[in-house]
Amino acid sequence: MNYTANTIMRDGYCLHYCALTDPGCRRTHNEDAFLVDEEGLMFAVADGVGGLGGGEIASNMALAEFSSCFNTFRSKLCTPSTRLRRAIERANTAVFRHGHEHGKRIATTLSLMILQGQQAFIANVGDSRVYLWRHKRLRQLTTDHTVRQEMMENGLLSGNTPGPPGIDHLITRAVGAEEQVNADITPFSVEPGDSYLVCSDGVTSMLSDEEIQHVLGSMASPVQAGKVLVENAKAAGGNDNITLILFTVNQPEAGGKMVTADWS
C-alpha cells in the first residue's frame, strides 16, 4: 500500500487528507492513479483500462494532462465548469491519440473534486465515484457510467438484482475511449465538517455503501479510515486495484487557531 497524507490550510479552511493506492490481491500491477494538487485544492482518481501497461499509461496521462490544462486556464476569464470541461477534453484527446498512435485502445475513468471557497465542482467519467460524508450519512455525488446504471435508469434492474453476467458493470464512458468525451460536471456547496471520498471501483466493487459508511462513522482520521477501507476491500477479495482519496474540511477555531486531526 502506498499513501500520502497532509494538512492544507487555505481559503479559510483546514483540510486533512490522505491518498492511498494498492494493487489489490489479484493484480500484479496497478493501473489506478491519483492526483492531489494542494495549491489548487484538486483531488482526482483515475482507473485505467488497456492491458499490457496501457491502463497505467492512460490513468497517469489523463491526470497529468488534465492538471496541466486546468492550471493553464486558471488565469483566463472562464467559469470553473468551462475550465473543467476543457481540461477533461484535453486529457481525452491525449489518451485517445496515444492509443491510436500505438495501435491499441486505452482509456481511463476520471473522477475528481475541486474546492473554491465554500463551493466545490465535481466531475466524473466512468465508474470511479465521489462520496460525501455529512451528518453521519453517506451520499454518492456521482452517477456511474455503466451498463448496469443504464439498465436501472430504464427500469430493467433494481437494487442489488444481478445484471447480465460479464456486462452489467462495463463502463459506457471513459477518457480516451472515443475522440469526444462527455463528462458530468456538478457544482456543490461545501460545509465545515464535511468529509469526501474519491475512489476507484476497487473500493466500491468490494464494499457496499453501508460498509463504507460504517468505516467513516468510526473515523479517527482520514489516514486511519483510508487504511481500513483498503484493508477491508482486500479482505473482501481485492479483485481490482484499490485507490482512494479521503479528506475532511474544517474551519479555523476562534482566534485563528486551526482545527487539527488525530493522525494515526
Cα–Cα distance for residue pair 51/56, rounded to 1 Å: 8
Tell me, rounded to whole angstroms, the distance of Cα 20 from its chain centroid. Answer: 11
- Give the ranges where 142-261 is alpha helix by DSSP (H): 147-153, 201-204, 209-217, 222-235
Specify whether the CB–CB gap between 133 and 196 falls below 8 A.
yes
Q: What is the pLDDT of residues 119-166, one digit of tens each?
A: 899 999 999 999 999 999 999 999 999 998 888 888 888 777 777 777
What pLDDT tens digit does each residue of the chain (264 aa) get?
898 999 999 878 899 999 999 999 998 899 999 999 999 999 999 999 976 679 999 999 999 999 999 988 776 678 889 999 999 999 999 999 999 999 889 999 999 999 987 889 999 999 999 999 999 999 999 999 999 888 888 888 877 777 777 776 799 999 999 999 999 999 999 999 999 999 999 999 999 999 999 999 998 899 999 999 999 999 999 999 999 999 999 876 543 444 333 333
Enter the CATH code of domain 2-254.
Answer: 3.60.40.10
Residue type present at position 65: E
The neighbour count for residue 2, using CB atoms within 10 Å, is: 11
Which 3 state secondary structure label does DSSP give 70? helix
| CA R_g for the chain | 18
Cα–Cα distance for residue pair 120/114, rounded to 1 Å: 5
If you ran DSSP here, which 8-state letter would residue 46 be given? E
Nearest to 243 by CA among 78, 82, 17, 19: 19
Residue 203 is placed in which grid cell? Answer: 473500493
φ/ψ region of 180 (left if φ > 0, alpha if ψ in -120 to 50, else beta) reads: beta
Domain residues of the chain, as ranges? 2-254
Cα–Cα distance for residue pair 162/4, rounded to 1 Å: 36
Q: Which residue has the cell 444481478?
A: 162
Could you give phi then psi for residue 74, rounded to 5 degrees? -60, -35
